[in-house]
A and B are shown apart, each in its own frame.
Chain A
Amino acid sequence: MSSQWVEVGRLEDIPPLGARVVRTAQGDIAVFRAADDQVFALEDRCPHRNGPLSQGLVHGTQVTCPLHNWAIELGSGSAVAPDEGCTKAYPVRIENGRVSLCLDGASDASAAPG
Chain B
Amino acid sequence: MEFSGRFSSEFRQRASVAALFVVLAMVGLTLRFAQLQVWQHEDHAARADENRMALLPIQAPRGQILDRYGTVLARNDAGFSLEIEPFQVTNLNATIEHISGTIGLRPSEINRFRRASAEARRFESIPLKTRLTDEEVARLVTRVADLPGVNIQQRSIRSYPFEASSSHLLGHIGRVSRFDRERLEEAGISNDYLGVTHIGKLGIEKSYEPVLKGQPGFQKIEVTASGRLVRELGLKAPEPGKNLLLAIDFGLQTRIEEAYKGRRGALVAMVPQTGEILAFVSQPNFDPNAFVDGVDPELWSELNNSPDVPLLNRALRGIYPPGSTYKPFMAIAALTSGARKPGDTIQDPGYFMLGNHRFRDSRPEGHGRVDLKKSIVVSSDTYYYKLAIDMGVDNIFRHIAPFGFGRTTGIDMEGETAGILPSSDWKMKRFGKEWLTGETPSIGIGQGYNAFTILQLARATAALANGGKLVKPRLVKAIEDPRSGNVIEMPPEIEADLNIPEDWLSLVRDAMVEVNLSGTGARVMAGTPYKVAGKTGTSQIFSIKQNETYVASRVAERLRDHSLYVAFAPADNPKVALAVIVENGGFGAAAAAPIARQVMDFLLVERTKEGRALP
A is bound by B = no
Identify the B interface with A (CB < 8 A).
none
Identify the A interface with B (CB < 8 A).
none
